[in-house]
């Protein structure tokens, strides 16, 4: 069990990539400090974690609010004694609108969640890791952090920022036994993809544009998160792993 007795803090744990990462960490023996915007963890996930005899706790957290992040993180540290791994996964897409008409309020919301939220989580984690001899951070970025994504100016900007923060912080803490990397999914079968558009023809176009001619699965992205969090990637920091079915190489 790669993560036996390791405590993993996961944001956006209630669905999609976060949910699959939660289950995979549980199967590898981790202690789980879970958070999301919902009042409670979804029933199916709770049931599966209990069946696995996983030690876990769930707290509502709005990552766009620094006080919410710092409070929840401190409560988890108090409850479990430490955090070893931070998976900063919470994020939103925002509306699909061309840049000249993109609402400023939507832009602000995407930046607040996807950029500031990751920053707040990283800040809390780094302060804790510095006091406890090290740790690992895995941020959820996107292939949109590498390539242009039309009609998603805020999302593209936010994911470029996540990669920038990942790289910058990795340089700062490389000698402190702290590794910081990111996963960069392409189109993945999550609620976020469902929110892109109700037009099935558009979704089919997204699939066809991917060389593997399919969408990614949340568990495939979760596998990469576990790799980055594990000792198997011990000489890796400041990197963004792209999992996009070949989309970005065209």
CA atoms within 13 A on the CB side of 52: 22
Give CA–CA dist 85/30, Å, rounded.
Answer: 10
Give the helix/strand (H/E) hosting 8.
strand 7-11
H/E element, 180:
strand 178-185
CA angle 153, 155, 159 (to 5 degrees): 120
Q: How far apart are the first and last CA of the chain?
A: 38
CA-nearest of 109, 122, 88, 118 to 17 is: 88
User: Counting every residue, how long is the chain?
Assistant: 250
Does 120 qualify as catalytic in the annotation? no
φ, ψ (nearest 5 deg) of residue 42: -65, 150
Catalytic residue among 58, 120, 155, 173: 155
Q: What is the CA radius of gyration of the chain?
A: 17
Q: How far apart are CA 41 and CA 43, in angstroms?
A: 6
Q: Which residues are identified as catalytic?
A: 155
């Amino acid at each position: 069990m790669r993560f036996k007795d390791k405590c993993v803090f996961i944001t956006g744990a209630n669905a999609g990539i976060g949910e699959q990462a939660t289950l995979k960490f549980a199967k590898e023996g981790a202690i789980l400090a879970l958070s999301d915007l919902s009042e409670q963890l979804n029933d199916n996930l709770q049931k599966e974690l209990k069946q696995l005899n996983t030690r876990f706790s769930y707290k509502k957290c709005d990552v766009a609010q620094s006080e919410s992040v710092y409070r929840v993180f401190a409560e988890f540290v108090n409850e479990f004694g430490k955090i070893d791994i931070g998976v900063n996964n919470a994020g939103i897409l925002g509306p699909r609108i061309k840049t000249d008409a993109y609402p400023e309020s939507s832009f602000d919301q995407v930046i607040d969640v996807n950029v500031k939220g990751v920053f707040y989580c990283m800040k809390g984690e780094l302060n804790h890791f510095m006091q406890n001899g090290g740790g690992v951070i895995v941020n959820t970025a996107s292939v949109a952090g590498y390539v242009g994504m039309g009609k998603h100016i805020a999302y593209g900007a936010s994911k470029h920022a996540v990669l920038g923060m990942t790289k910058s912080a990795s340089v700062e803490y490389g000698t402190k036994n702290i590794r910081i990397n990111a996963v960069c999914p392409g189109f993945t079968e999550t609620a976020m993809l469902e929110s892109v558009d109700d037009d099935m023809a558009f979704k089919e176009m997204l699939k066809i544009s991917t060389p593997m001619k399919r969408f990614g699965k949340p568990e495939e992205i979760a596998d990469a998160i576990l790799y980055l969090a594990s000792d198997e990637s011990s000489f890796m920091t400041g990197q963004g792993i792209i999992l996009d079915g070949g989309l970005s190489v065209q």
